[in-house]
Amino acid sequence: MKFTELDLIDPVLSALKDKGYEEPTPIQEKSIPLVLDREDLLGVAQTGTGKTAAFSIPIIQLIHQFDGSHHRDAPLRCLIVTPTRELAIQIDENIRDYSKYTKTSHTVIFGGVKQHSQVQALKRGVQILVATPGRLLDLISQGYISLDDIKMFVLDEADRMLDMGFINDIKKLLKLLPADRQSLFFSATMPDNILQLSKTILDNPKKVEVTPKSSTAETIKQYVYYTNRVTKHSLLVHILKNEDIEQVLLFSRTKHGADRIVRNLKKSNIHSAAIHGNKSQNQRQKALKDFKNGNLRVLVATDIAARGIDIDKLRYVINYDIPNVPETYVHRIGRSGRAGEEGIALSISEPEENCFIRDVEKLINQSIEVVEGHPFPQTERPMTAAEKKEWNKEKQRRKQEFHANRKKSGNSRGRQYSRR
Ligand code: AMP
């Protein structure tokens, strides 16, 4: 099927042509006609399936049809709420691209930065607002946003929204929205609590589902390298010697781990940057921009920071550690092989993580191909339960010793300073 068969208006088709999109993805093919028919939608889809365009394109078209060229006086018509700043910015960028030949006005608001420029943009008048929940409620309470004329409401990534503790914000928001509206609800998974929430938002919705729960995209090739804990970094550098890996999104479980990887890669002259919760919004934006422009080879991200990152044609994902929750693995590798592109996911497993690989294989119901013959093979065996217990005790003891020593040296330094 082609976009031209979808009843879209010329300004939208021209914008899609500029992006080089010819065929709608399955979620787009199913959703666009339903949204144009003013149906409520319950969409089960992960990022990477093209869901942003699936809701943005018909919304832009409907707003263009409501308000025509009177956009300057038009009130806020559509509210799109999404859990992370990165995702909000990306949705707004997509809307900018798809609406470039219409006069639709839009803006994005999110927390963690000063509100002034966001308030200025709101004052100029917008028809489509993309927002994260906290900043949205804040600016509503300050009187900068009125939801009275909302015709369309989108709740994006509902499952992550709840994971991140936004349920009360969502409930507050629902009370402020006009009852007579069209609502679109998207979530990668649909457990009971999400389904219940959707029922409080949607009216007789049409269900659109593209990827079955917990399945890995078929277009992603997956490989695992077994190694020892101490050889992980050398193995990573060895893997990155492959020049086919022009750019890679690398996952680290912890923020400190992510920083350590960046420091170590620097020693091997490999350009990388980390994005995680301890970095400022500006640092995160810069790293993401450099990565998108091709000026950064390795983007190191924690799971939370990586949520909603949208990078065109990302081929490679590396798991520097194996998540103990197998669904996280599925989310991570879903960042490659987007919208029909072939993706490659490489995982590096140390002995203690071998069991997590087994869990992933059980979840995805397929075995992951093992890379043999690399220079840093796994020679150690996983600890037994008793050894692990012993090791945890030892770690605890070392930690206490470290803190005790730090306290001692801190105190003596304190005395030195007070003497001066
Ligand atoms: P999303 O699931 O919205 O994060 O989109 C995933 C990626 O696919 C984004 O990089 C989009 O720019 C891209 N994309 C969306 N729709 C299409 C399409 N019909 N053809 C090709 N690429 C697309």
Q: What is the CATH number of the domain that holds 313?
A: 3.40.50.300
pTM of the shown model:
0.62
> Which CA distances in Å does 173 have to 155, 200, 214, 407?
11, 12, 30, 48
Q: Cα(288) to centroid of ligand 1, in Å? A: 17
> Which CA distances in Å does 212 have to 46, 205, 367?
10, 19, 19
* Shared domain check, 312 and 172: no
Q: Cα(234) to centroid of ligand 1, in Å? A: 35
* Shared domain check, 352 and 320: yes
Would the pLDDT of 415 be above 60? no
Task: Check residue 214 and give its pLDDT.
Answer: 44
Q: In terms of residue numbers, what domain contains 38?
A: 3-209
- 197 in any annotated domain: yes
- 377 in any annotated domain: no
Report the percent of the chain where pLDDT is more than 70: 92
Strands 78-81 and 182-187: unpaired
- 261 in any annotated domain: yes
Q: What is the distance between the alpha carbons of residues 45 and 161, in angstroms, rounded to a whole number?
A: 15
pLDDT mean over 306-326: 81
Number of domains in the chain: 2
* Shared domain check, 166 and 102: yes
* Shared domain check, 332 and 191: no
CB of 311 sitting under 6 A from ligand 1: no
Q: What is the distance between the alpha carbons of residues 220 and 196, in angstroms, rounded to a whole number?
A: 32
* Shared domain check, 132 and 23: yes
List pLDDT tens digits, range 109-119: 999 899 999 99
- 71 in any annotated domain: yes
* Shared domain check, 350 and 305: yes
- 325 in any annotated domain: yes
* Shared domain check, 9 and 64: yes
Would the pLDDT of 329 be above 60? yes
* Shared domain check, 314 and 183: no
pLDDT bin (cut points 50, 70, 90) of residue 411 is low
- 416 in any annotated domain: no
* Shared domain check, 168 and 235: no
* Shared domain check, 352 and 233: yes
pLDDT bin (cut points 50, 70, 90) of residue 251 is very high
CB of 156 sitting under 6 A from ligand 1: no
**Residue at a domain's end among 158, 189, 209:** 209
Strands 128-131 and 272-275: unpaired
Task: Check residue 396 and give its pLDDT.
Answer: 84
Burial status of residue 164 (CB atoms within 10 A of its CB: 0-12, 13-18, 19 or more):
middle
CB of 320 sitting under 6 A from ligand 1: no
CB of 67 sitting under 6 A from ligand 1: no
Residue 413 φ then ψ, to 5°: -65, -40
* Shared domain check, 200 and 241: no
Q: Which of 5, 8, 25, 154 to mutate to test the pocket of ligand 1 (most atoms within 8 A of CB)?
A: 25
- 385 in any annotated domain: no
- 389 in any annotated domain: no
Burial status of residue 257 (CB atoms within 10 A of its CB: 0-12, 13-18, 19 or more):
middle
* Shared domain check, 25 and 150: yes
